[in-house]
Every structure is written in structure tokens, then in C-alpha cells.
């Protein structure tokens, strides 16, 4: 089998592949894309201290290919090679290398590791939820302390909580709260009647489960406003509203049932809960609803119907009749 080869600095290789493809008859455009992806992965997704300086792309007439890239660490005077093989390649971003040859470097940033799947998804979620402008704004906020002459706390994982105790609208990322409520209204009737088959689960319990789902399946960047999660089950001090015990008990019951069923190999319930979180993220860009203050007022009005309780005691009815099936399903 004859072979066509293209090798050189990665900026030239895609153009050479397109030209060779036109002459030989294979998909040069597709191979050019593969060339760029391979170079991008080893320069951006694998951060091991080696800068790429050589990109060799060898391709056969039937379109199969091998890539050998080389990086250099000037300070250590060491080189490292990255080997790729098209045969058997299932993903460009998860364990794609046929081999990596070079001295061990200890702990590195390797987003191609299968354990980094959550990190990769989180980066996509960050882009979708904030957009390029939002990410740039967050980056400026992070970099601002470094430019400040005043000593600042190191950039370690931490939460900065407000000085006040009560939950205020300014403490809550309102659009995410709206998305969670919308997801509960959208997915709830489908998943929780046909999949969960847990009798008595009502819309208010599904709302709580949607917020619990985000805590379970979420990522740190989504927890910038932890006050939002207090809307699942309130607070014993009545902030943002008394604990709705009926909803609280139903939520625990559903979660226990889902975990027990999963241990038996039936993961429909856990899957339904996760889909609440997935749906919330999809709706986040265009969801809307009442303001936070109005949502709190609604919960306070319905508190007695949910068996609301705080350290101050049981809540009294604020409406002439007890609310029926919306309270968690009982």
C-alpha cells in the first residue's frame, strides 16, 4: 500500500493535508480537522510543561493516519512525544493517545483522563450559562485581587457568605432558580408519574427534588449562590420560609427509594432525578418567573398546608382552605 505523508509545524500541516487529499482522493478536509484537534488536545488539554514544536501527520491512501508530536521543556532540557493512531480511536478528548513517551512529570493537568469527564462537562456548562462575556467578567473578578496592593485571600475553593442571615433576593441567582422550577414543571409530570411510580409525589416535592438534583450532580461554579438551595426545604429559623415538613419527608422518601432501587439494578428513579438537573440547565437561558420576593411570599402563604414548622412552632393557616394535592402529594 502506498502512503502519502504530511509533516511539519502544525500550522502548515492542515493545508498540506487538504492539498494531498485533493490529489490522492481521501478526505483532506476531515484529516485537516483531525490534525488541528490533535494539536489542540496536546497543547491545551494536556498541561504537562512541554510546548509542542513538531507535528508529524502520516496518512495512507485509504485515509488511516498516525500522528507523532513532540514537545520540549526548556528548563528541564527534556522532550516528550505524543503518539496518536486513527485505528481504534473513539474520542479525541477521552484517553485518545496510543502512547506518550517521556520522563514522568508527577501530577499534571490532563483533561483527557476519563476521570476528568465532569471537568470537561463543567467547562461546557460554564460557557453555556455565562457565555464568553460572562466568563471574561468572572476572570476579571478573579484577577482583580492579584492586582490589588492589599493582601488578599489565596484563590482556594471557598465561599464568601453575606454578613446578613436572612435570604434576600440579591443573594439568589434568579434565572437559575426559575430554570429549576421550570424543569420541575416540565419533567415532573413525565418522569414522576410514569417512571418513579412513587405514589403521592406532587409538584412541590418535584421542585425540591430538582434542587437536590443540582446539589448532587452540579459543579462548584454553580454554587456561587448557595442561598438558592434553601428554596428546597426552607429553614428552621423561617428563612427564607418555614420548613415544609410534608415536602421534606416526601423528598427523603423518594431519594431513599431511588437509592434502594439502584442497588437492585433499577436506576429509573435516579435517572429521572438527574434529568431534572439536565432540564434545568437547558432552560436556564430563557426561563423566567416571579421574582424571589414573590416566591418567598407564596411559600409563606402555603406554609401551613405543607405542615410548615420552625423553631417558633407550627405555622398557622393564612388561607381559608387547606391546599390539596400541590403540597407534596398527600
- One-letter-per-residue 3-state SS of 124-154: HHHHHHHHHHHHHHHHHHHHHHHHCCCCCCC
Task: Report the Cα 103 to chain-centroid distance in Å.
Answer: 33
Residuewise pLDDT in 10s, the chain (330 residues): 223 333 344 458 888 888 888 888 888 899 999 998 898 888 888 888 888 888 999 988 888 999 999 999 888 888 999 999 999 899 888 899 999 888 777 778 888 888 888 888 887 777 777 777 777 777 777 666 555 554 444 444 556 667 777 777 777 877 778 777 777 777 666 665 544 444 556 778 888 888 888 888 776 667 777 888 888 899 999 989 999 999 999 889 888 888 888 888 888 888 888 888 888 888 877 778 888 888 899 999 999 999 999 999 999 865 444 344 344 443
Report yes or no: 137 and 116 within 8 Å, Cβ to Cβ: no
**Percent helix / strand / coil, the chain, rounded to 5:** 50, 15, 35
Integer Cα distance of 228 and 142 in angstroms: 22
Integer Cα distance of 309 and 243 in angstroms: 5
Q: What's the confidence (pLDDT) of residue 190?
A: 63
Question: CA–CA distance from 137 to each of 131, 133, 134, 143, 303 (Å)?
Answer: 10, 6, 5, 10, 39
DSSP letter string over 317-330? P-SSS---TTSS--
Phi, psi dihedral angles at 201 (to 5 degrees): -80, 120
Q: Which stretches within 218-267 are classed as H helix?
A: 230-233, 245-263
Contacts of 105 (CB under 8 A, 6+ apart): 48, 49
Integer Cα distance of 276 and 282 in angstroms: 10
Integer Cα distance of 188 and 114 in angstroms: 32
80: its cell numbers: 516528550
Integer Cα distance of 66 and 83 in angstroms: 7
On whether the pTM is more than 0.85, the answer is no
Half-sphere exposure of 328 (CA within 13 A, CB side): 24
- The residue extents of the domains of the chain are 3-112, 116-147, 169-314
Amino acid at each position: 500500500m502506498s502512503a502519502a505523508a504530511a509533516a511539519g509545524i502544525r500550522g502548515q500541516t492542515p493545508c498540506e493535508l487538504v492539498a494531498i487529499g485533493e490529489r490522492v482522493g481521501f478526505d483532506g478536509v476531515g484529516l485537516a480537522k483531525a490534525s488541528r484537534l490533535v494539536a489542540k488536545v496536546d497543547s491545551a488539554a494536556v498541561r504537562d510543561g512541554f510546548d509542542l514544536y513538531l507535528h508529524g501527520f502520516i496518512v495512507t491512501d485509504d485515509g488511516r493516519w498516525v500522528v507523532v508530536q513532540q514537545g520540549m521543556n526548556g528548563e528541564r532540557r527534556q522532550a516528550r512525544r505524543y503518539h496518536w493512531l486513527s485505528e481504534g480511536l473513539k474520542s479525541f478528548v477521552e484517553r485518545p493517545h496510543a502512547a506518550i513517551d517521556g520522563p514522568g512529570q508527577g501530577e499534571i493537568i490532563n483533561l483527557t483522563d476519563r476521570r476528568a469527564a465532569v471537568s470537561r462537562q463543567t467547562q461546557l456548562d460554564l460557557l453555556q450559562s455565562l457565555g464568553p462575556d460572562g466568563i471574561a467578567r468572572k476572570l476579571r473578578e478573579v484577577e482583580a485581587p492579584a492586582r490589588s496592593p492589599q493582601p488578599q485571600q489565596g484563590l482556594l475553593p471557598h465561599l464568601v457568605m453575606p454578613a446578613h442571615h436572612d435570604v434576600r433576593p440579591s443573594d439568589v441567582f434568579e434565572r437559575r432558580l426559575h430554570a429549576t422550577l421550570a424543569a420541575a414543571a416540565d419533567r415532573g409530570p413525565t418522569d414522576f408519574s410514569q417512571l418513579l411510580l412513587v405514589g403521592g409525589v406532587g409538584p412541590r416535592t418535584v421542585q425540591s427534588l430538582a434542587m437536590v438534583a443540582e446539589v448532587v450532580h452540579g459543579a462548584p461554579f454553580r454554587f456561587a449562590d448557595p442561598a438558592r438551595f434553601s428554596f428546597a426545604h426552607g429553614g428552621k429559623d423561617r428563612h427564607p420560609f418555614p420548613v415544609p415538613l410534608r415536602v421534606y419527608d416526601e423528598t427523603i422518601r423518594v431519594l431513599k427509594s431511588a437509592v434502594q432501587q439502584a442497588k437492585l439494578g433499577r436506576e429509573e428513579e435516579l435517572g429521572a432525578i438527574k434529568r431534572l438537573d439536565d432540564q434545568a440547565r437547558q432552560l436556564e437561558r430563557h426561563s423566567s418567573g416571579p421574582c424571589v420576593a414573590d416566591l418567598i411570599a407564596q411559600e409563606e402563604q402555603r406554609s401551613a398546608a405543607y405542615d410548615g414548622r420552625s423553631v417558633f412552632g407550627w405555622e398557622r393557616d393564612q388561607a381559608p382552605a387547606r391546599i390539596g394535592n400541590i403540597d407534596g402529594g398527600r
